[in-house]
Copies of this chain bind each other. A is one copy, B any other.
């Protein structure tokens, strides 16, 4: 932590800060510059709150030096984490594609999709049974009935199941059916849910909130990791910007940023990230070229009648095309797929 004093600060002011710093169990190291006095603080700044120093008279700014997360950091664990989801390894050499409908609607829709995406090369099946919708007047998911249909699809195709859990109270139930528990973007900072996922044994797919900084994203992962569950996969799904031609702005810059700062795998969701089926294939290619470990793609046998997210869903045929095009890029990147 570095404390910048205001231009009017005297040595006496520095003394006051020093005493505060020491009372917090840290050491202060003042540097007398030409225009400012700056105080270096030695010790683990994560244990104190910035406010405890920034409000002392004549303190201008307090600048944290250390990242707020520990367990999620590559500094702590230099090698890549590889997460095993029903036998599929995410974060290693393999590029993994998760595919399936936004919502589980009925047996036929789900099984037809599952078979088709499996044939095209998907490794895991996604499908929502509990749906957090913007409007209270539209379909909110089939609930446990949806989970049972996912189980059926797994039994038939062998694809592991990825599905969302919306609330602490549902974790146990959803974990019975799911191989990978998804935390939706709107719940990225639902700290209760994150804590309860820290106690499960199932891997977690943590989606980035629309307005989350990287620090916030990794701190949400830290909640799960610090609870004892090391199996966290990050997912970029678009940020909110002023841009008008996509529903969100898929941010591929976060891929190398995560790879640099964290050991956790990161996959990309171009379906939500763009909100447009016609942009999903080019952005999927770009995501893999940027270094993402995989993709999660919405697919529906007939998007025009989908209960949700039809505009961003690929048809079964378009998904086959995606797998072909993305496969070539993965190959160029030296990845298996």
**Could you tell me which A residues sit within 8 Å of B by CB distance?**
2, 4, 7, 29, 31-36, 38, 40-44, 46-47, 49-52, 54-56, 63, 65-66, 68, 75, 132-138, 140, 166-169, 186-187, 189-192, 194-195, 209-211, 213-216, 219, 222-223, 226-227, 239-246, 249-257, 260, 273-274, 277-279, 282-283, 285-291, 303-311, 328-329, 331-333
Among A138, A190, A250, max chain B CB count under 10 A is at A190
Q: How far is the CA of A211 from the CA of B243 in the complex (A)?
A: 8
Instruction: Determine which of B187, B243, B277 lies in contact with A239 in the assembled complex, contact meaning CB atoms within 8 Å.
Output: B243
Q: How far is the CA of A333 from the CA of B324 in the complex (A)?
A: 12
Given known pairs A31-B40, A63-B63, A211-B210, the reply for A249 and B251 (CB within 8 Å) is yes
Instruction: Determine which of B34, B52, B291 lies in contact with A310 in the assembled complex, contact meaning CB atoms within 8 Å.
Output: B52
* Identical subunits present: 4
* Inter-subunit contact B278/A285 (CB<8 Å): no
Instruction: Determine which of B7, B44, B186, B303 lies in contact with A35 in the assembled complex, contact meaning CB atoms within 8 Å.
Output: B44
A-B residue pairs, 8 tightest by C-beta: A51-B310, A289-B289, A211-B211, A31-B40, A286-B290, A332-B332, A285-B289, A55-B304
Given known pairs A256-B279, A329-B332, the reply for A2 and B52 (CB within 8 Å) is no
* Inter-subunit contact B303/A279 (CB<8 Å): no
Instruction: Determine which of B223, B244, B310 lies in contact with A49 in the assembled complex, contact meaning CB atoms within 8 Å.
Output: B310
Q: How far is the CA of A254 from the CA of B328 in the complex (A)?
A: 22
* Inter-subunit contact B2/A245 (CB<8 Å): no
Given known pairs A31-B29, A56-B304, the reply for A251 and B255 (CB within 8 Å) is no
A33 proximity list for chain B (CB < 8 A): 40-43, 65
A31 proximity list for chain B (CB < 8 A): 29, 31, 40, 42
A303 proximity list for chain B (CB < 8 A): 51, 55
* Inter-subunit contact B257/A253 (CB<8 Å): no
Q: How far is the CA of A285 from the CA of B253 in the complex (A)?
A: 12
A-B contact pairs, 11 of them (CB 8 A): A55-B310, A68-B135, A132-B190, A166-B190, A167-B167, A167-B192, A211-B240, A213-B242, A214-B245, A282-B291, A332-B332
* Inter-subunit contact B274/A285 (CB<8 Å): no
Given known pairs A55-B304, A252-B250, A311-B55, the reply for A38 and B2 (CB within 8 Å) is yes
Q: How far is the CA of A277 from the CA of B59 in the complex (A)?
A: 14
Closest to A330 in B: B332
Closest to A35 in B: B66
* Inter-subunit contact A311/B138 (CB<8 Å): no
